[in-house]
Amino acid sequence: MEDKKQQLVRLVSAAAKPPKKPRCQPAQAVRIEGSHNIVGDGNTLIHAQTVRPRNAIDPRASEISEAQKLRLRELINEWITAHNTVRTRARPLTHAAAWSSFQRKFRVTSYHILPLARFQEAVRWLQQQRARIDGMKTAPMRDDAWRARQIAYIKARCKNQLGAPELYRAYIERRFGKASLSELTDDELASTRAYVAAKKPA
- Asked if residue 123 and residue 110 are part of one domain, the reply reads yes
pLDDT at res. 159: 92
44, part of any domain: no
Q: Which residues span the domain enclosing 173? A: 145-202
- Asked if residue 90 and residue 138 are part of one domain, the reply reads yes
Task: Name the residue with higher pLDDT: 112 or 178.
Answer: 178
Q: Domain total for the chain? A: 2
- Given a cut of 90, is residue 42 above it in pLDDT? no
68, part of any domain: no
Q: What number is the average pLDDT over the span 166-195?
A: 94
pLDDT at res. 60: 47
- Given a cut of 50, is residue 178 above it in pLDDT? yes
Q: Which of 123, 143, 163 is the last residue of a domain?
A: 143
Residue 98: Cβ within 10 Å count: 18
Predicted TM-score (pTM) above 0.85: no
- Given a cut of 80, is residue 148 above it in pLDDT? yes
Least confident window among 8-22, 108-122, 138-152? 8-22
71, part of any domain: no
CA distance 122 to 119: 5
Residues 6+ apart with CB under 8 A from 192: 150, 154, 168, 171, 172, 175, 181, 184
124, part of any domain: yes
